[in-house]
């Protein structure tokens, strides 16, 4: 068996367990009843993770990365001849949503916050008050650009007072932070197999309010990313995907779901991620690095650190850590030089302590 050469301290793909990787060692037929039952069990498990109101929601699996899932929702939920999407953004992934909407020819209004600050709920409300053409809202929960957490629950509750359809990109938070889509008034939640549930890349998934999803019939701007048709096929044919599905990734994801349950569920995983992040910040601060995001708004998933000085060479730092068994992430912040370190995946506080020691050795020459 291949042994990992390094630990991925990234926001996904991330380090997985040996059992998740081993689950991919079996070839499956997409038409086989055993495989279809596997898909259905995953869909049911996702809805159960997402809400206590399981009767009102369904899960749709969509081939491709998280961005494919986001595009499938935006391109299917927004009416072709009407509708306007309010995009609340404070990072690269919110900006990507705006880019998707632009390519699809969807009318938008953008509520932009600084990258160091969470989305301003008052600014969102001002737009909802003044722009009566807005029909849908979308916000990123954990903005992976920086690691900041946005006030999704408050934004969605506000949008519902104005009778808007709510969409949440929970790519880097679902499975790692407790969310109840019904209680949070989320109509469509999007996430990915290779994030906090700790599977491998290959598909995204959407937790959708059934009534809102059924209203999407005939609206899709894409054949392969038609969310409604994907759901209808999975419903009518008991787990069948419309086109070739990533069978190995699906088996790995099922194993990852079992391991999430074994760990103690989302609450236990959140506690581990939180301990990872606190251990990281404490150690990195002692080594002379400053977090980019204020602690009050910091997620436990990924942390951005500001370069310690002008002479800091990220590539050299990155390669040194890689030789020590750790892979980190470059920054995406536009206004400051930063790099990012992820805390999710099969990663524990003792791993973070080893990383901090490797950083200390680098700093001390």
pLDDT digits (tens, 9 = 90+) for 247-295: 999 999 999 999 999 999 999 999 999 999 999 999 999 999 999 999 9
Query: What is the DSSP secondary structure assignment for residue 295, as one 8-state letter?
Result: G
Q: What percent of the chain has pLDDT over 90?
A: 94
Q: What values do phi and psi take at 286, rounded to 5? A: -65, -30
Q: Is the peptide bond before 250 cis (omega within 30 degrees of 0)?
A: no
pLDDT of residue 5: 80
Residue 296: pLDDT band with limits 50, 70, 90? very high
> Phi, psi at residue 192, to the nearest 5°?
-140, 155
- Distance, in Å, from the CA atom of 312 to the CA atom of 321, rounded to the nearest integer, reads 14
Q: Which residues pair with 208 in a beta bridge?
A: 58, 188
- Structure tokens given for 29: 């037929």
φ, ψ for residue 314, nearest 5 deg: -60, -45
Taking CA atoms, 319 is separated from 11, 12, 362, in Å, by: 18, 19, 11
Domains, in order of start, for the chain: 7-11+264-363 (3.90.1150.10), 18-261 (3.40.640.10)
Say what the pTM is. Answer: 0.96
Helix (H, G, I), strand (E, B) or coil at 65: coil
Q: Is 261 left (phi over 0), alpha (psi -120 to 50) or beta?
A: alpha
Beta partners for residue 303, in sequence order? 341
Quick count: other Cβ atoms within 10 Å of Cβ 46?
25
Structure tokens belonging to residue 44: 């049911």
Q: How confident is the model at residue 4 (pLDDT cuts 50, 70, 90)?
A: low
pLDDT digits (tens, 9 = 90+) for 209-229: 999 999 999 999 999 999 999
Q: What tens digit of pLDDT does each residue of 175-212 get?
A: 999 999 999 999 999 999 999 999 999 999 999 999 99
Sequence-separated (6 or more) residues with CB below 8 Å from residue 114: 90
What are the tens digits of pLDDT across the range 105-115?
Answer: 999 999 999 99
């Amino acid at each position: 068996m291949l042994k990992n050469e390094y630990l991925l301290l990234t926001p996904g793909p991330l380090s997985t367990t040996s059992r998740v990787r081993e689950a991919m060692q079996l070839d499956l037929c997409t038409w086989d009843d055993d495989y279809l039952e596997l898909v259905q069990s995953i869909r049911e498990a996702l809805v159960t993770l997402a809400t206590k109101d399981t009767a009102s929601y369904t899960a749709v699996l969509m081939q491709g990365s998280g961005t494919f899932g986001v595009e499938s929702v935006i391109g299917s939920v927004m009416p072709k001849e009407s509708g306007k999407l309010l995009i609340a953004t404070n990072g690269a992934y919110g900006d990507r949503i705006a880019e998707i909407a632009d390519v699809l020819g969807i009318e938008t209004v953008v509520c932009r916050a600084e990258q160091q600050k969470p989305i301003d709920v008052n600014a969102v409300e001002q737009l909802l008050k003044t722009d009566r053409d807005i029909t849908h809202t979308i916000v990123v929960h954990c903005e992976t650009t920086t690691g900041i957490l946005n006030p999704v629950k408050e934004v969605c509750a506000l949008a519902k007072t104005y009778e808007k359809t709510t969409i949440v990109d929970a790519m880097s938070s679902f499975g790692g932070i407790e969310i109840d889509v019904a209680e949070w008034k989320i109509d469509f939640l999007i996430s990915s197999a290779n994030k906090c549930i700790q599977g491998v890349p290959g598909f995204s998934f959407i937790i959708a309010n059934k009534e809102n999803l059924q209203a999407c019939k005939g609206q899709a701007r894409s054949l392969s990313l038609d969310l409604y048709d994907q759901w209808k096929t999975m419903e009518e044919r008991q787990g069948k995907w419309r086109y070739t599905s990533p069978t190995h990734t699906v088996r790995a994801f099922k194993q990852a779901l079992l391991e999430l349950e074994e760990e103690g569920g989302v609450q236990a995983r959140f506690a581990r991620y939180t301990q990872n992040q606190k251990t990281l910040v404490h150690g990195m601060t002692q080594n002379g690095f400053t977090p980019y995001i204020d602690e009050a708004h910091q997620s436990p998933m990924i942390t951005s650190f500001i370069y310690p000085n002008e002479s800091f060479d990220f590539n050299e730092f990155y390669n040194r850590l890689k030789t020590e068994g750790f892979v980190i992430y470059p920054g995406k912040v536009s206004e400051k030089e930063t790099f990012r370190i992820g805390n999710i995946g099969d990663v524990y506080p003792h791993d973070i302590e080893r990383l901090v020691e490797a950083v200390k050795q680098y700093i001390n020459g």
